[in-house]
Structure 1
Amino acid sequence: MKGRRALLMLFLAAVLGLAAVLLAARWLRQPATSTVRIAVAAADVGLGQRLAPDMLALAEWPAGSMPAGAQREPAALAGRVLKASVQRGEPVTETKLAPAGTLGGLSALIAEGKRAITVRVNDVVGVAGFALPGNFVDILVYAPAQHNGSNGVNETAVSKIVLERILVLAVAQEVARDDTKPRVVNAVTLEVTPAQAEQLDLARSVGTLSLALRNQVDPQPGATPGATRQSVLGTGMAPALAATSAAAPTTAAPRLARAALPPSAEPARYCIGVIDGNRSSKECL
């Protein structure tokens, strides 16, 4: 009985060993995956920076999954400017590079046919510091009420969105788009077309600018007629307020005058009750 059990265990061990040998041989016969050497970033490099030889390195990459536009010669990338940030070990592709001959800095980030214009902001206008490079904003202008004395025309105060989906290129002197923390700055640089640059320059000369942060992927236009005093307070509300404020000085003065006068005081009188039998009377001095 014990002999049969030992023979069975030896047989199973032989079968399993043979299976392991066959699997290993099959795995060794598989063709080796071919690789190529491509240029990758040797360190984290921000957008707008000019590439130097020490910023690049060669790395083995599977030939079947090589990124489109990958470069094989780091020397050919020296002096090129990045228009997108790259992390260490990330392939440096042609889509992340500005055209050859582009100087570094903000000018490398401006798209063809666009312009960069800077507007002054504060913690309120700049959306509490949440308008960061790479975000899109709408630009509002508030124009105060004006009176044209020559023809007697009154222009009511109005707030209107004048530009939509404007790309923020930089805040202050920073163009990095990897930071998500709010930054309160005093200037924001925007990417606009030449026509939008003219509109923005006129808008900031006639009123106060504000930025409205919008969703990154929302393409819907915000077509609005603008907000006026009448549309915010309601029709007829503004004239009523004006009439009330105009009548206030004339109605308040009598009230103040009456309040200032002392109340009429009657002279003090002394009274004596007189009882005569079953009659009573009252005499006052």
Structure 2
Amino acid sequence: MRPKSLLLLALALGCGLVASIGISQVLDSNNKKQASIETVPIYVALQNINLGDPVNDAMVSLQEWPRDKVPVGAITKWEDIESRRPKTTIFQGEPLNDGKFLAKGETHDPISGIPPGMRLKTVSVDARKSAAGLLSPGDRVDVQLFVPQNERNGIPHSFTKIILQNIRVYAVDQAVQRTAEGTEERSIAKTLSLVVTPQQASRMTTAENMGELSLIPRHPDDDLIVDDAEQSLEDIFARSDSSSREKERAAFDKSNEKEEMELALRKEISHNPTVEVEPPFRMKLIFPNEVSQIDFDNTTGEPLEKEEENFNTYSTNTVGNGSGEATSTGPDLGADKPEGQFPIDFE
């Protein structure tokens, strides 16, 4: 055999020897660690256990768990769990905890699960009012009220309004929790119990006597409270306020045209400043049988308007001359002036 081949063979054998030694050391260290971990036997659920079902030996098994992983209250003795009923659903692989079970001989009391300060309000439902049987305990709903027209009771028109939002369903008929498997057959419930405050319970009772209540399911993570306005028949049948692009464009063009006109007017005013106009000169004219007022332009001396259209005329006092003819007490200012010429010269 050539020296080069012998060298490669020796190198391969050396690498394999080193790898085998390393693997054996790792396995030995793992075995030592496993031997050093202290375990404790506890009972673990072999299947889902529904609320209120008595526990039997086919549902659980005794398993070794690391002591540092054992939860507080874990059950380690069979006599501590035999025939006891869980307060809540226990899932497969979950350690049995003493705090999740009722005392021996005690049955589940649904009323004890009501949160402090809250109340249960039960409403009658059918397929239409309960979302066709899709609601289960723990779901969230909005409560909608429909009030029919009743003018005798002061209700001039029918309307609909959401009176409560984000209300939790506590029980469907007599079931207060979902089954652990979640494969229960859906049925149309006759009653639903809701968790509400005392004030909300009173509001629902009043609403039930006014009209008809319906439950509207909502997403369990949706906490948004919306401002729901009352909806009447007039609102439902009113014409849609859908926008028209042509109307929007016309309104936009009209607005731009108005702005351009205002801008042009401002420029015109800025280039042509306002000139103060002197007030007219007013003169009172006394004729034999009347007194008139007339306004004259201060610049030209001409009357601003015709006398008969703009002037006020007043009668003057006359006195008799003994022959039955009346004579004026005022002077005759226009006696020597031709017709159409103003009786007073300003020059």
**Shorter-chain TM-score category?**
0.5 to 0.7
Q: 1:186: how far off?
A: 2.3
Q: Deviations over 1:9-33 (max 9, x none)?
A: 2442243123212331233124224
The residue number in structure 1 matching 2:158 is: 157
Distance apart, 1:126 and its partner CA: 0.9
- Is the Cα contact below 8 Å between 1:48 and 1:109 reproduced in 2? no
Larger mean CA deviation between 212-221 and 42-51 belongs to: 42-51
SS where residue 138 of structure 2 aligns?
A: coil
Task: Give the distance between the partners of 1:125 and 1:138, measured in 2 at CA.
Answer: 11
Partner of 1:176: 178
Alignment of 1:230-241 (within 5 A): 230-234=234-238
- More contact order relative to length (CA 8 Å, sep ≥ 6): 1
Superposed CA deviations along residues 174-199 of structure 1, whole A, max 9, x for unmatched, are 33252487532222232233333332
Structure 1: segments with no counterpart, 5+ residues:
236-285
Counterpart of 2:151 (choices 147, 150, 168) is: 147
Partner of 1:126: 130
Give the 3-state SS of the residue equivalent to 1:188 in structure 2: strand
Gaps of 5+ in 2: 240-347
Q: Distance in 2 between matches of 1:107 and 1:57?
A: 32
Partner of 1:24: 24
Asked whether the 8 Å contact 1:44–1:87 carries over to 2, the reply is: yes
Q: Deviations over 1:145-180 (max 9, x none)?
A: 22237xxx4443221212222222232333325248
Q: 1:110 to 1:41 in 2, by over 3 A?
A: farther
State the SS of the aligned residue for 2:151. strand
Normalized against structure 1, the TM-score is what? 0.66
Amino acid across the alignment from 1:176: R
- The 1:80/1:44 distance shift into structure 2, 3 A limit, reads same
1:82–1:166 distance in 2 versus 1, CA, 3 Å: farther
Which of 9-18 and 70-79 deviates more? 70-79
**What is the percent sequence identity of the aligned residues?**
26
Match of 1:225 among 222, 229, 232: 229
Q: Give the 3-state SS of the residue equivalent to 1:122 in structure 2.
A: coil
> Contact 1:50/1:104 (CA < 8 Å) preserved in 2?
no
Deviation at 1:135, TM superposition (A): 0.8
Counterpart mapping for 1:41-190 below 5 A:
41-49=45-53, 51=55, 55-67=59-71, 70-73=74-77, 75-77=79-81, 81-93=85-97, 97=100, 103-148=107-152, 153-174=154-175, 175-177=177-179, 178-179=182-183, 182-190=186-194
Aligned residues: 231
Residues 54 and 85 in structure 2, CA contact (< 8 A), matched pair in contact too: yes
Distance 1:202 1:81 in 2: 39
Q: In 2, Cα distance between the equivalents of 1:229 and 1:56?
A: 60
TM-score by length of 2: 0.56
Aligned equivalents of 1:198, 1:50: Cα separation in 2: 38
Residues 130 and 23 (structure 1 numbering): CA distance in 2 closer, same or farther, change over 3 Å?
same
Cα distance in 2 for residues equivalent to 1:54 and 1:115: 38
Letter in 2 for 1:25: Q
Q: Distance in 1 between matches of 2:52 and 2:198?
A: 22
Structure 1 residue 52 displacement after superposition: 5.7
1:47-85 deviations in whole A, cap 9, x for unaligned? 344556764433223444445664445544557653432
State the shift of 1:86 in Å: 1.9
Q: CA RMSD in A?
A: 3.3
- Contact in 1 for aligned 2:168/2:194 (Cα 8 Å): yes
CA distance in 2, matches of 1:108, 1:200: 23
Change over 3 Å in CA distance of 1:83–1:227 after alignment to 2: farther
Taking a change above 3 Å as real, the CA distance of residues 154 and 183 of structure 1, as seen in their structure-2 partners, is closer
The higher radius of gyration belongs to 2
Q: Which amino acid aligns with 1:47?
A: L
